[in-house]
Chain A
Amino acid sequence: MPLRLQRRARPSFAMRLGAPLLAVLVAAVIACGLLAASGKAPLDGFYALFLAPLTQASGWADVLTKSAPLALIGAGLVVAFRSRVWNIGAQGQYIAGAVLGSALVVHMPESSAGWLLPSMIVLGVIGGLLYAAIPAFLSTRFNANVILTSLMFDYVALAGLHYLTFGPWRDPSSYGFPGSVSFQDAASLPVIWAHTQFGLGAVFAFLAAPLIWILLRSTLFGFQVRVSASDEASTYAGFSRPRVVWMALLLSGALAGLAGLMQVAGPINQLRPDIYSEVGFSAIIVAYLGQLNPLGVLPAALLVGLFSVGANNAQITLGLSSSLGQLLQGVLLFTLLASNVLVNYRLAKVSS
């Protein structure tokens, strides 16, 4: 008896929760298939990827450290995507925040002033915010497509980062390696889990999601975002579309910039050309995997963080490609999008 899709009377709440779980299961099965196809024992691979990081306390710290920027950027992207503002330039905004925040350290590498770190944080936020303001301006003033402009500025940011780290901001005592000076203590966020990289920045990063949740639930702007799903409703309510575009981009850009600063002043501890490693794209996956709900972003970020720590682990222990983590994230987003059909539709048997 063939199955076909039948529209549900209303979206299923159970499936909204269930679809990500189903997606993770299917993605894990596909991951094992990929491992088998590359000649590794699937169970060894599964262990290295998903379980080994959780067998040690330091593994947990790694997962939390990796997840923190994803949760922070992901929470901002939830607001943008719910507003139907496709900011896919979080990568560039992250770099802009890291660069602007680092500018102070590069110019006063000896300073131990108490105001240094707070100023860096403010500059990081401003960097991301200003960088996101460019696509916002081009969209509201010139009607230019946000997807394309925000993404193009990723590549521009990357070129700028390379210019600075290979050029004027390179540490003169680095034997020619690219990257700024290592940040002094006064310019670093304190580590709070000894012998790991888990620091204060990560703690604040995880707080962003609940704050965004409150913002969406209890403020006028949050309401405007939630109504954005329908053009008619927004117009009828008299909400200004340019205002929503501006706010969504500035907010998601500011959080991405903060995440960038948090990384260079935290686990990475210097401005390097490789600070980004696709964090912007992973955050997009986190936002969708959390079903565009700020609270959903937290477990989603932890899971994607686990994937990326696990993939590093598998690279070392099994000699697999470093792209495995990215591949798994792509597979996961696909299985999620496919599972999500069950939110609005049910599989029904039809006779004949």
Chain B
Amino acid sequence: MNNAVWISLLAGVVVAATPLLLAAAGELVCERAGLLNLGVEGMMAVGAVCGFIAAFTSGNAYLGLLAGLVAGLLCGLLFAWLTVQLMADQVATGLALTILGHGLSGFIGHGYAGDSITGLPALPLPGLSDLPVLGPILFQHTLPVYVALALVFGVHWFLSRTRAGLTLRSVGEDPKVSYSLGLRVNATRYAAAAFGGAMAGFAGAFLSTSYTPMWAEGMVAGQGWIAVGLVVFATWRPLRLLVGAWLFAGVGIGQLFSQAAGLDLNTYLLSALPYLAVVVALVLISRDPLRIRLNTPASLGRPFRAET
């Protein structure tokens, strides 16, 4: 097999990892603030359908991305309203968001299935895209692919180097102490949930305006759940998301790899592989309970209310 095939496969991995990275980076920020949002799958579905409809009606795929982002942000705020304001159970609320998002996307997308749009254009980065090997793998993609890569480093910088990031982490570790120090716990959690939602919506819109420029019911196909798993795999550290996302995306397009390598694997087995890969990865990471306990944001999943 020649090098060109491998380069195009690796470029495919980078593209396929994009929705995982976007959604997982958003979820990571949300979880570091103490909110476990299991609604990523649903928020991506809503982002995908809103993004597609906006791109279809306006004729501009970038507007689609924006619409997906805003729709996801609203979903994130809805989650925060229930879990922060009304102290609803986070697991139940996240599941509700996933079910609602699936239903809503089917409901409003009814009638758009089968329509096609012009997808986002590729934006080769000047200079970098001409590099041998790395150029075609990393620098000849559509805008969200670059955004996803930048986002991972941006989130790392934000959490470890800024005051707002420190506030967010301390809210996630101990909301009571943070509150008594005068930090705005609820506002921080609202913002984190909104960011997580926006990134999930953006990831969904990437799927429907760029990855496959069309909309179909159930097109998110578990990628939101894989993103949630990715956050655990990365033990809540942003840079480790890259490793996991590329790994899972590589397994996800395993069909292309196996064809390229001349293997004839069962397609049903291949379609189950990404999910099995997540399970294996979770088992390997979680085997050491201490590591999970030390890295999990201490207040994750627990409601907080300032008793006045």
Q: Which of B87, B88, B92, B266 neighbours the largest number of chain A CB atoms within 10 Å of its CB?
A: B92
Which residues of B are found within 8 Å of A155, using beta-carbon distances? 222, 272, 275
Which of A153, A167, A337 is close to B82, meaning CB atoms less than 8 Å apart? A337
Contact B92 A337 (CB under 8 A): yes
A322 at the B interface (CB under 8 A) = yes
Residues in A with CB closer than 8 Å to B288 are: 143
A34 vs B229: C-alpha distance when bound (angstroms): 33
Q: Which of A88, A143, A322, A340 has the most CB of B within 10 A?
A: A143
What size tier do the contact residues of chain A reach?
35 or more
Asked if A338 contacts B268 (CB within 8 A), the reply is no
Known interface pairs A143-B292, A145-B282; A338-B86 also in contact (CB < 8 Å): yes
State the majority secondary structure of interface residues on A. Answer: helix
Residues in A with CB closer than 8 Å to B272 are: 155-156, 159-160
B-contacting residues, A289-345, CB 8 Å: 320-331, 333-334, 337-338, 340-341, 344
Inter-chain contact B106/A337, CB cutoff 8 Å: no
Within 8 Å of chain B (Cβ to Cβ): is A94?
A: no
Q: Are A153 and B103 in contact (CB under 8 A)?
A: no
B interface residues, how many (CB within 8 angstroms)? 49
Cα–Cα distance between A160 and B105 once the two chains are bound (Å): 26
Which B residues, 264 to 308, have Cβ-Cβ distances below 8 Å to chain A?
266, 268-269, 271-272, 275-276, 278-279, 282-283, 286-289, 292, 307
Q: What's the Cα separation between A238 and B276 when bound, in Å?
A: 35
Question: A8 at interface (Cβ–Cβ under 8 A)?
Answer: no
Chain B positions within 8 Å of A284 at CB level: 95, 99
Which positions 158-186 of chain A face chain B at CB distance < 8 Å? 159-160, 162-163, 166-167
> Which of A88, A148, A330 is the one whose CB lies under 8 Å from B232?
A148
- Give the complex CA separation of A156 and B287 in angstroms: 22
- CB-based contact B276/A88 at 8 Å: no
Interface flag for A281 (CB, 8 Å): yes
CA distance A334 to B92 in the complex (A): 9
Say whether, besides A155-B222, A321-B106, A327-B107, A337 and B99 are in contact (CB < 8 Å).
Answer: no
B125 close to chain A: CB less than 8 A: no
* Residues of A bordering B, CB below 8 Å: 7, 34, 38, 86, 88, 138, 142-145, 147-149, 151-153, 155-156, 159-160, 162-163, 166-167, 278, 281, 284-285, 288, 320-331, 333-334, 337-338, 340-341, 344
